[in-house]
Chains A and B, each alone.
Chain A
Amino acid sequence: MSTTEFEARLRAALHPVEPREDFAVRLERGLVNLAELAADELEAWELSSMRDPRNWARPAAAAVVGAGAGAALVVLRMRGRHRRRRAQSANVLDLAERTVRDLADEARRLLP
């Protein structure tokens, strides 16, 4: 067999592998959630987080949110409440604190 023929067989053996559809959908949804969270909730939180030890629960909650199966649900609920939090908040820092509290509560409620 010539090298060219062998390379053709190699190409057939190492064919591209499609990920399972449910995995692709799950991953894309996770990335969208991450992007939205990063752009909105987390950005506000980062401005004020380390000033107040009460907010240090937020990274732990975020880690749980990022890893757990209930992550999408937490994020969806957080997104759903965002408008209400924004309306209730006096300023960005207030919004950040409300977001942190809400997320921690939601994560505690939904995740093991």
Chain B
Amino acid sequence: MPDEPDAKADLDRSFSELYRTHLRDVYSYAYYRVGNHHDAEDLTEQTFLQAYRHYERALRESDGRPLRPWLIRIAHNLAANYYRDRARRPESAIEDAAVISAPHTTETLVEGREELERILAGVQRLPDDRREALIMRFALGMDNREIARALGRSDGATKVLLHRAVKQLEGIVGENGADPTAEEAA
């Protein structure tokens, strides 16, 4: 079997590239799911270990399609187990996430930061599927098709999910603490 070591080396090289390309995506997703860097690192590490274990098969079955949705789906499943095991939801405040890089006056900086913090707090109050869809779209820049694959939904259902998520979040942020299920009921 003279080709096997070469095939394994190719596979490892390919996985290494996948890792480098998507580390930030997986980490960002994990961070916004769990709300702190410590658990985000754990989740990211577990995601890539799991991915490495199943990489050959995923590559074979992907049929040339991008593997980012597959990676995020692994993180999504692990995060679900994480909450099930620990019986907890994401922490309400995301640590130091609302960083504004553009220069502003002190006043606008504070206002801008407060607004971003309100938005982040609102995201944490969304139902799980809506929150995840927003993280994938806005933190990772995934398109509808990628999000659909990561969540195991149709493209159409994903488009509706995203639309409703944004509308509900607008309602939450606008009312600044209103019942997050109000829009859902409407």
Q: Which residues of A are in contact with B by a Cβ distance under 8 Å? A: 3, 6-7, 9-20, 23-24, 27-28, 30-32, 34-35, 39
> Which residues on A sit within 8 Å (CB–CB) of B119?
9-10, 13-14
Known A6-B170, A16-B139, A19-B44; further 13 A-B contacts with Cβ < 8 A: A9-B116, A10-B134, A10-B169, A12-B100, A14-B134, A15-B139, A16-B25, A16-B141, A17-B27, A20-B41, A30-B45, A32-B16, A39-B5
B48 adjacent to A14 (CB under 8 Å):
no
Contact with A along B11-22 (1 / 0, CB 8 A): 010011001100
Whether B139 lies near A14 (C-beta < 8 A) is: yes
- Which residues of B are in contact with A by a Cβ distance under 8 Å? 5, 8-9, 12, 15-16, 19-20, 23-25, 27-28, 31-32, 37, 40-41, 44-45, 48-49, 52, 97-100, 115-116, 119-120, 123, 134-135, 138-141, 166-167, 169-170, 173
Q: Which residues of A contact B44 (CB under 8 A)?
A: 19, 23, 27
Count of A-B residue pairs with CB < 8 Å: 90
A-B contact pairs, 14 of them (CB 8 A): A6-B170, A10-B169, A14-B120, A14-B139, A16-B28, A17-B31, A17-B32, A18-B24, A23-B44, A28-B20, A30-B45, A31-B19, A31-B49, A39-B12
- Are the C-beta atoms of B49 and A14 separated by less than 8 Å? no
Assess the A19–B23 pair: CB atoms within 8 A: yes
Question: Can you name the residue of chain B whose Cβ is closest to the Cβ of A36?
Answer: B12
B98 nearest CB neighbor, chain A only: A13
Q: Which residues does chain B contribute within 8 Å of A14, judged by CB atoms?
A: 32, 119-120, 123, 134-135, 138-139
